[in-house]
């Protein structure tokens, strides 16, 4: 079952499991865990690994927090909102922990990489039992063990992660779906965009060995997985930390050869490293989906420079042109920050102009949020909140009609859909995604989940499409 994990971890897992199994025999009630994940796909995938560890130590997943024996928050620090939510949740658990002292409460993820955040927890949320960082996931069994033995708060964080840790490399994941999977191809980030905290929470950029990635995906294919999403903060610079020449395009080519895998996605791409080789690979490789998430952040060259993004609006538009030429049906999505320090009306209008020119299929839009420790946090001329909000609304007013217009192109077309789940509101309705990443609803039987089917689009909306199976 467990291959490659170090002896210490296996032993710690066995200890925790024996204890949980013993209590299960005594009480007749299985130990349960509750997990909440904030932030990006990296964190989601880390949570899948944490779930795997917990389930191999005798815990069962529950969505009933009050009733669980182990509660864990996998946190994000990218914007203030994400941070405040976690503090809110932890505060609300004080009472539960008082009533149920045997409950273990753990906090991990990006917030815990910051000393300031750890200190807040240690001083104001003393009912937290276990704290660990983004490079210590594999140590969770040891940390639970230590807590069980000492009943004292356990803290384990590596501040400046520079290497790939062998145990994390071989850690398995309890994946949320049985047909599509996240696969890490690299960790960390070296770009230091001036607004962003990620390089401080995830450490330096490190690429996994291609052979390990390929092996993982081959195993997924053997288990019936059809789609993989390759994860990295900047996948376009994949391979730069390897001792030999191996580009992201080359990796895609290798993954494209794996039988059983039908769709390949990846995120995130940084425009500064989007090579012609990669564009050609996207055009040529049949399994690579016709969708690219290419965060632009701003349309103003002055702001892009202050953000340390290392491309101009013109460079970006040229990339879009090349992409559309090479992959005619490509859907393009992006991230945009509104209200970066010093952003003037003129700068913002450049963003609106860029959005009009690119004509995105979808976009994640964010209000700039000050992150202590980043360069932008120290910049003068922070934009007042009312102006940020007003620009944010104007941006959405431009984006939404463009999304709708793009979706209109799908009317009456037949698209291949990977069926993902039953709709939350109507059990006769299924949802799935096209290769271009469009969310599509249609009537069908839940046996179709995990299958690739053809759907004819009948109704077009701004954020979703509707159709029927043919």
> Using the rule CB under 6 A, is 272 a contact of ligand SF4?
no
Count of residues that interact with ligand SF4, criterion CB under 6 A = 10
Min dist CB 366 to ligand SF4, Å, is 11
Q: In the bound complex, what is the minimum distance in angstroms from residue 51's beta carbon to ligand F3S? A: 16
Q: How far is the CB of 161 from ligand SAH (least distance, A)?
A: 16
d(CA 335, CA 360): 10
| Contacted entry of ligand SAH, ligand F3S, ligand SF4, none for residue 369, CB cut-off 5 to 8 Å set by kind | ligand SAH
Contact 333, 437 (CB under 8 A): yes
- Beta pairing class for 263-267 and 31-37: unpaired
Q: Is 14 in the site for ligand F3S (CB under 6 A)?
A: no
Which residues make beta-bridge pairs with 432? 419, 440
Interface segment toward ligand SAH; rule CB under 6 A; list 173-181, 192-200, 311-319, 454-462: 192-200
Cα separation, 419 vs 453, whole angstroms: 7
449 binds, among ligand SAH, ligand F3S, ligand SF4, none (CB under 5 to 8 A by kind): none
Please report, as residue ranges, which positions from 19 to 58 form the binding site for ligand F3S (by CB under 6 A): 39-40, 42-43
Cβ pair 348, 377 in contact under 8 A: no
Nearest to 129 by CA among 143, 114, 109: 143
Among 147-155, 186-194, 258-266, 317-325, the segment contacting ligand SF4 (CB under 6 A): 186-194
Structure tokens at 12: 């710690």
Angstrom distance (rounded) from CA 115 to CA 129:
17
Nearer to ligand SAH, 37 or 297 (CB): 297
Beta-bridge partners for 404: none
Residue 295 and residue 298: Cα distance in Å, rounded?
9
Specify whether the CB–CB gap between 242 and 202 falls below 8 A. no
Site map (CB under 6 A) of ligand SAH, residues 343-382, x = contact: -----------------------x-xx-x-----------
Interface pick for ligand SF4 out of 21, 199, 253, 302 (rule CB under 6 A): 199
Region 76-135 residues binding ligand F3S, contact defined as CB under 6 A: 76-78, 110
Under DSSP, is residue 100 helix (H, G, I), strand (E, B) or coil? coil
Question: Which helix (H) or strand (E) segment is 74 a member of?
Answer: strand 70-75
Among residues 270, 435, 438, 441, which is the contact residue for ligand SF4, using CB under 6 A? 270
Task: Choose the binding region for ligand SAH from 131-139, 179-187, 193-201, 315-323 (rule: CB under 6 A).
Answer: 193-201
CB of 67 to ligand SAH, least distance (A): 34
Residue 368 interacting entry, from ligand SF4, ligand SAH, ligand F3S, none, C-beta within 5 to 8 Å by type: ligand SAH
Neighbours of 151 (CB within 10 A): 10
User: HSE on the CB side for 289, CA within 13 Å?
Assistant: 27
d(CA 280, CA 250) in angstroms, rounded, equals: 11
Partner from ligand SAH, ligand F3S, ligand SF4, none binding residue 182, C-beta < 5-8 Å depending on class: none
d(CA 11, CA 13): 5
**Mask: binding to ligand SAH, 197-226, rule CB under 6 A, as x and -?**
-x----------------------------
Q: How far apart are CA 322 and CA 367, in angstroms?
A: 30
Considering the complex, state which of residue 56 and residue 269 has its C-beta at the smaller distance from ligand SF4.
Answer: 269
CB 58 within 8 A of CB 16: yes
Phi, psi of 253 (to 5 degrees): -60, -40
- Name which of 326, 270, 293, 15 is nearest 142 in CA terms: 15
**Residues in touch with ligand SAH (CB under 6 A):** 78-79, 195-196, 198, 233-234, 268, 270, 295, 297, 335, 337, 366, 368-369, 371
**Residues in touch with ligand F3S (CB under 6 A):** 39-40, 42-43, 76-78, 110, 197-198, 201-202
**Residues in touch with ligand SF4 (CB under 6 A):** 189, 191-193, 196, 198-199, 233-234, 270
């Amino acid at each position: 079952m467990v291959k490659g994990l170090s002896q210490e971890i296996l032993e710690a897992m066995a200890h925790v499991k024996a204890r949980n199994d013993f209590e299960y025999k005594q009480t007749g009630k299985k130990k349960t865990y509750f997990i909440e994940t904030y932030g990006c796909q990296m964190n989601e995938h880390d949570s899948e690994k944490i779930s795997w560890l917990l389930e191999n130590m005798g815990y069962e997943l529950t969505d009933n927090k009050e009733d669980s024996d182990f509660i864990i928050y996998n946190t994000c620090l990218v914007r203030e909102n994400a941070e405040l939510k976690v503090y809110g949740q932890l505060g609300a658990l004080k009472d539960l922990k008082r009533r149920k002292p045997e409950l273990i409460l753990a906090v991990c993820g990006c917030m815990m990489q910051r000393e300031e955040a750890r200190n807040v927890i240690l001083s104001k949320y003393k009912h937290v039992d276990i704290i660990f960082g983004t490079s210590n996931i594999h140590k969770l069994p040891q940390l639970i063990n230590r807590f069980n033995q000492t009943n004292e708060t356990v803290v384990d964080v590596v501040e400046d992660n520079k290497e790939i840790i062998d145990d994390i490399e071989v850690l398995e994941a309890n994946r949320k779906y049985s047909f599509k999977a996240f696969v890490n191809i690299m960790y960390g980030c070296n770009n230091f965009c001036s607004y962003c905290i990620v390089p401080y929470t995830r450490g330096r950029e490190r690429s996994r060995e291609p052979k390990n990635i390929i092996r993982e995906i081959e195993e997924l294919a053997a288990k019936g997985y059809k789609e993989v999403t390759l994860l990295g903060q900047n996948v376009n610079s994949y391979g730069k930390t390897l001792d030999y020449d191996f580009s992201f395009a080359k990796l895609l080519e290798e993954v494209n050869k794996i039988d059983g895998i039908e769709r390949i996605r990846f995120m995130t791409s940084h425009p500064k490293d989007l090579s012609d080789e990669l564009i050609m690979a996207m055009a040529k490789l049949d399994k690579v989906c016709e969708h690219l998430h290419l965060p632009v952040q701003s349309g103003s060259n002055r702001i892009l420079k202050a953000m340390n993004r290392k491309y101009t609006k013109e460079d970006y538009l040229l990339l879009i042109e090349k992409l559309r030429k090479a992959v005619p049906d490509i859907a393009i999505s992006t991230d945009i920050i509104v209200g970066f320090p010093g952003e003037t009306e003129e700068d913002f209008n450049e963003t609106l102009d860029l959005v009009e020119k690119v004509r995105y299929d979808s976009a994640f839009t964010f209000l700039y949020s000050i992150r202590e420790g980043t360069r932008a946090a120290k910049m003068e001329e922070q934009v007042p909140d009312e102006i940020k909000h007003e620009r944010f609304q104007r941006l959405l007013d431009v984006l939404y009609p463009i999304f709708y217009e793009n979706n209109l192109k799908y009317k009456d077309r037949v698209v291949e859909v990977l069926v993902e789940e039953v709709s939350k509101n109507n059990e006769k309705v299924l949802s799935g995604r096209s290769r271009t990443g469009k969310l599509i609803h249609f009537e069908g039987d839940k046996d179709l989940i995990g299958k690739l089917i053809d759907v004819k689009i009948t109704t077009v909306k701004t954020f979703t499409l509707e159709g029927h199976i043919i």
